[in-house]
Chains A and B, each alone.
Chain A
């Protein structure tokens, strides 16, 4: 799988490259600035890109802007955005095109390389992966709203994990229940939130996030 890495700190970039190579990814290019990233994304069309939000030369949200610009030119170009902090506003902008193939994680999620690589593969496959912090903030914001308030605590846990982009089997593993139980919960959640049920994991995540983001 071909990956473009954009990170301006040499130590982190080097670490990411080693980690990915150890997991059998092929690093097409590792860049350190926003313009170089956009260039690399458009020329290589990688299977997935790992992008730091803050990049030189402006040291603002240059990485995010480059990723969004590339996705406008190549819809659905898979991008996993990494950052020292997660912002609802940026998550919303990444999700806005509803095309999938988007991830937004805190940098420390890299510590758990198995989960990180799993997330990277999910994004490359067109899935949507959101940091638990993004999801929990979304849930806090909607907690007072009627439909979300009607969910049982267990259902809310399942909703949060669904929003993070996990599959039914991953959720079942995490909550120590059967996959069947998870699918039952998910049906109930969709009914309570008045969303059209969907078996497709990607579409399910997008629907849940769109609902929470509205």
Chain B
């Protein structure tokens, strides 16, 4: 038992230190306890089980398992604690029922709660005292782990051993004091009362083992007596109470451990599903975007450069014969290069607008407002930059919403509010147009919704027919830095 207790303490310390690692650098009391949570209960529970059922391979195994789980996975330890408490409670209920059922045999069955352990020769006094009191039964541990139950002696009969001395009395040495031959009384061992047997008989065995190392100074460890006195026909009541206590505590823990973990698992499942969806969207969008860029380059700038090369070659050939025509051709080539540049510029603007790359979202939206033929009121409070992909998604969302305000809603005035509240970017765009915008109908807003979805962002549209249209965009994100630009 010493070994077991020391082992438990060592495990607790290891779990404690590990909890500090998991919680990060500042290891405050509260954080450590929170990190381990109800899992901390597991070791005491395993210990109680060992106390109840004695030191045997099953209980030692349970303790080792508990320690391992507590160290490796405090979350699962909490779940185990709840389950074990309920099992203990159920076991106690069964035991209480068994006691209740055997209440007619109380004289034979020790089933009480008070336990006294006394060394020889104090045992004598204890036994004498017990003889005076009306115990229902006495169970004596023989000192070698054997257990003998002795029936209550008739009134007045002495239970004092016939041969008191340094040797421990065993059932045989007690015999002369008891009328009739010493007769070990079998503790009922029917399947129904198996629990009872374990609850009492094995408990005494383990009590005996426990008592030895804690003998008071001067008393040498040696054979001990353990006496269990009956508590009468109502002996099942405390057992029942304890059982209910365990059961109630276990059930109370269920929503706090198993229940929470179940919810967590279902939430994570949903999250994974949502992430797979948005990832597919993001991959599709990126592929489509690349395809568009490739097509634009192929049909635009690339074709113009080919034509440019051909014009220059033609000019080269014409140069000797008709320099005038060659000159005209070179002028044409210059025009062509200009147009190629314009196309490339538009393409780049569609990928990432220069102001967005240079200065971030706030100025990009300001620039957008300058280029939109609407009366635009801006209220922007964005004290830093955001992650580039979020900026880009938010910018194109605002651009799409504003394009809709011009094209479909025929708005004259647009209000844009944009701020970051520490957790999320919030943009509200209100226009005084004809309303009736619906992401389900147009592909534009639907595309914006999908693009924002990649960042767990949302797009809320309130656009009754007749207007006004209010569109709110919310993207959870962190501010990266405070502005460092010189203006």
Query: Which A residues are closer than 8 A to B by beta carbons?
Result: 53-54, 60-61, 65, 68-69, 83-85, 87-90, 92-93, 106-108, 111, 137, 140-144
> Cβ of B487 and Cβ of A87 under 8 Å apart?
no
Question: Known interface pairs A84-B345, A85-B345. Does A111 touch B371 (Cβ–Cβ under 8 Å)?
Answer: no
> Cβ of B486 and Cβ of A65 under 8 Å apart?
yes
Residue of B nearest to A68 (CB): B487
> Cβ of A111 and Cβ of B337 under 8 Å apart?
yes
**Is B357 an interface residue when CB atoms closer than 8 A count as contact?**
yes
Bound-state CA distance A108–B357 (Å) is 21
> Cβ of A88 and Cβ of B345 under 8 Å apart?
no
Residue of B348, B354, B373 touching A87 (CB-CB under 8 A): B354
> Cβ of A65 and Cβ of B367 under 8 Å apart?
no
Distance (whole angstroms) from the CB of A15 to the closest CB of chain B: 14
Bound-state CA distance A137–B373 (Å) is 9
Distance (whole angstroms) from the CB of A31 to the closest CB of chain B: 18
B131-160: contact bitstring with A at CB < 8 Å (1 yes, 0 no)? 000000000000000000000000000000
Residue of A85, A108, A144 touching B354 (CB-CB under 8 A): A85
Q: Which residues of A contact B372 (CB under 8 A)?
A: 141
Residue of A53, A65, A140, A144 touching B487 (CB-CB under 8 A): A65
Residue of B337, B359, B370 touching A61 (CB-CB under 8 A): B359
Chain B residues numbered 366-404 whose CB sits less than 8 Å from any CB in chain A: 366-367, 370-373
> Cβ of A85 and Cβ of B349 under 8 Å apart?
yes
> Cβ of A89 and Cβ of B373 under 8 Å apart?
no
> Cβ of B373 and Cβ of A140 under 8 Å apart?
yes
Bound-state CA distance A208–B357 (Å) is 30
Across the A-B interface, give the 7 residue pairs with the lowest CB-CB distance, nearest first. Answer: A88-B370, A89-B367, A61-B358, A60-B358, A141-B373, A108-B341, A85-B354
> Cβ of B338 and Cβ of A88 under 8 Å apart?
no
**Is B481 an interface residue when CB atoms closer than 8 A count as contact?**
no
Distance (whole angstroms) from the CB of A46 to the closest CB of chain B: 21
Residue of B nearest to A89 (CB): B367
A–B complex contacts, Cβ < 8 Å, 12 sampled: A54-B358, A60-B358, A61-B358, A65-B486, A85-B348, A87-B355, A88-B367, A88-B371, A106-B341, A108-B341, A111-B337, A111-B338
Bound-state CA distance A87–B334 (Å) is 24
Residue of A nearest to B366 (CB): A89
**Is B284 an interface residue when CB atoms closer than 8 A count as contact?**
no
Distance (whole angstroms) from the CB of B333 to the closest CB of chain A: 10
Bound-state CA distance A202–B177 (Å) is 131
Q: Which residues of A contact B348 (CB under 8 A)?
A: 84-85
B475-487: contact bitstring with A at CB < 8 Å (1 yes, 0 no)? 0000000000111
**Is B363 an interface residue when CB atoms closer than 8 A count as contact?**
yes
Bound-state CA distance A108–B337 (Å) is 9
Q: Which residues of B contact A143 (CB under 8 A)?
A: 373
Q: Which residues of B contact A65 (CB under 8 A)?
A: 485-487
> Cβ of A69 and Cβ of B354 under 8 Å apart?
no
Residue of B334, B349, B363, B487 touching A111 (CB-CB under 8 A): B334
Q: Which residues of A contact B357 (CB under 8 A)?
A: 60
Distance (whole angstroms) from the CB of B432 to the closest CB of chain A: 15
Residue of B nearest to A111 (CB): B334
Residue of A nearest to B363 (CB): A89
9 new A-B contacts at CB < 8 Å, known A54-B354, A54-B358, A88-B371: A69-B486, A85-B348, A106-B341, A107-B341, A108-B338, A111-B334, A111-B338, A141-B370, A143-B373
> Cβ of A87 and Cβ of B485 under 8 Å apart?
no
Bound-state CA distance A89–B363 (Å) is 8
> Cβ of B373 and Cβ of A144 under 8 Å apart?
yes
Distance (whole angstroms) from the CB of A206 to the closest CB of chain B: 18
Chain B residues numbered 429-487 whose CB sits less than 8 Å from any CB in chain A: 485-487
Bound-state CA distance A102–B341 (Å) is 24
Q: Which residues of A contact B367 (CB under 8 A)?
A: 87-89
Q: Which residues of A contact B366 (CB under 8 A)?
A: 89
Residue of B nearest to A112 (CB): B334
Bound-state CA distance A111–B341 (Å) is 12
Bound-state CA distance A83–B345 (Å) is 11
Distance (whole angstroms) from the CB of A51 to the closest CB of chain B: 14
Bound-state CA distance A85–B363 (Å) is 16
